[in-house]
Amino acid sequence: MGHKRRYEEFIGSMKSLLETGKHSDFIISCGEDTYNVHKSIVCSQCEFFDAASRFGKEGEEGKVDLVDDEPEIVKHLVNYLYEVDYHVRSEEVDGPWVFRMNWDFEKAPKYTPRRRIILDCSLWATSAMKMVEILELHPDIIKKQKVSSRVIELHPMKTEHKLIIKTLVKYWKELQAQNAEAIGAIPKPTGTEDPITHAKVYALAEKYNLKGLKDLAREKFTASLEHTFPGLEFFNAVDVVFTSTPDNDHGLRKVVAFHLSQQKEMYGMYGRLEHALKSTPSLAFHMIWCEYVSLEESTLRDASDETLNDSMTSNLP
C-alpha cells in the first residue's frame, strides 16, 4: 500500500506541474490548446521534442506547434509524458454500457449468421436508451454476468433474457419504422468512439517514436473491442489502423484482423466487412494469416523476426 500511495503522490505532482505550468521552459501547442511543459520531462522521452527545443525556429522561440495533428490526440500524448497514461471520457462513466448476445452455437443452432448480427445490432443500438430501464426491471441480471462490468450478455435460451431481448428488438423496430432522422438521433453507447481514439493515439505515438505510448494504446484499443459492435464507428477505426501507420507496423493490424476473424465466424460475411476487405487488401492478408496462427503466436513471431532481421543486418558488409 505504501508503494502505491507514493506512486500516486508522484503522479499527482507530475500532473500538477503540467496543469500549472510551474517551472515550465518550453511550449507545445496544437490548435487552440497550449501546454507549458518541461524539457527535462518531454525531451528526455521524445527525440522530436528534444530536437525541436534545441534547433531552428522552435529552439529560438521555445515553442513547437503541431499543426498537422489533432488537438485531442496530442492532449493524450502530452498527458502520457507526465502520467505514463492517458484517459478517454468513457473511463469516467460507470458500466454497464451495452447489451450483447451470448451466442452458444450448440444450444442455439437455429440462429443464422444474419440473424445473429441483426439481433446484436438491435441490442447495441438500443443500449444507451434502454439500459437504465432494463436494469430497474431486472436488477439481478448484473450479478449473474461473467464478463466485464461494461457488457451485459443475454443468452437467447434463458427465459428472463428472452424477455429483455424481445423488449429491445421491439423498441428497435419501432425506431426503424420512423424516419432516418429519428434513428440518427439515438445516442450511441458509451465507449463507441474509444477504438478510433486509441488507434489515433497509436498512430501519433508511432509518428513521434514513443514506444511506451504505442504499447499502452494497443492495450487500450484491444480492451475497447470487448464492448464494440462492428458498425460504422468501428470500421472508421479499422480505416485509421490501416492507413495511419507504416505497412510493416502490425501492432494494431493483427488485433483488428483477429477480432474480425472471430466475428466472421459468428456473423458470416456481412456488408461492412465485405466492403472493408475489398477496399483494404492488407486487412484481407492479415485475416488470412489469422487462419493459421494465434494472436499470441503472431506477436512472438514478430519479435523473433525482428531479432533475425537485426542479426542479418549486422552481418552485412
150 within some domain: yes
Any idea what the CATH number is for the domain that residue 77 is in?
A: 3.30.710.10
pTM of the full predicted structure?
0.88
Angstrom CA distances, 223 to 108, 131, 148, 286, 296, stand at: 27, 21, 10, 20, 15
Which H/E stretch holds residue 113?
A: helix 113-137
Contacts of residue 116, defined as CB under 8 A and 6 or more positions apart, other chains included, come to 101, 103, 266, 267
125 within some domain: yes
Which H/E stretch holds residue 200?
A: helix 194-207
Q: Looking at the 3D structure of the chain, how many domains does it have? A: 3
Residues linked to residue 108 through DSSP beta bridges, in sequence order? none
Asked if 231 and 309 sit in the same domain, the reply is: yes
pLDDT of res. 197? 97
310 within some domain: yes
9 within some domain: no
Domain termination residue (choose one: 184, 213, 235): 184
Asked if 76 and 102 sit in the same domain, the reply is: no
67 DSSP 8-state letter: T
Question: If DSSP codes are grouped into helix, strand and coil, which group holds residue 209?
Answer: coil
Asked if 106 and 148 sit in the same domain, the reply is: yes
Q: Which position has the grid cell 497550449?
A: 34
173 within some domain: yes
Asked if 45 and 66 sit in the same domain, the reply is: yes
Domain termination residue (choose one: 132, 150, 184): 184
109 within some domain: yes
pLDDT of res. 317? 38
201 within some domain: no
Residues linked to residue 153 through DSSP beta bridges, in sequence order? 100
Asked if 103 and 61 sit in the same domain, the reply is: no
Strand pairing report for 33-37 and 63-65: unpaired
Domain termination residue (choose one: 86, 107, 124): 86
CB atoms closer than 10 angstroms to residue 85: 12
Going residue by residue through the chain, which has 317 residues, state the pLDDT in tens, using 9 for 90 and above.
Answer: 578 888 889 899 999 999 999 999 999 999 999 999 999 999 999 999 999 999 999 999 999 999 999 999 999 999 999 999 999 999 999 889 999 998 876 665 578 899 899 999 999 999 999 999 999 998 888 776 665 688 999 988 888 899 999 999 999 998 888 877 777 788 999 999 999 999 999 999 999 999 999 999 999 999 999 889 999 999 999 999 999 988 899 999 999 999 999 999 889 999 999 999 999 989 999 998 887 776 556 554 554 444 434 443 344 33
Asked if 269 and 235 sit in the same domain, the reply is: yes
166 within some domain: yes
CA 187-78-188 angle, to 5 degrees, is: 5
Domain of 253 in residue numbering reads as 226-314
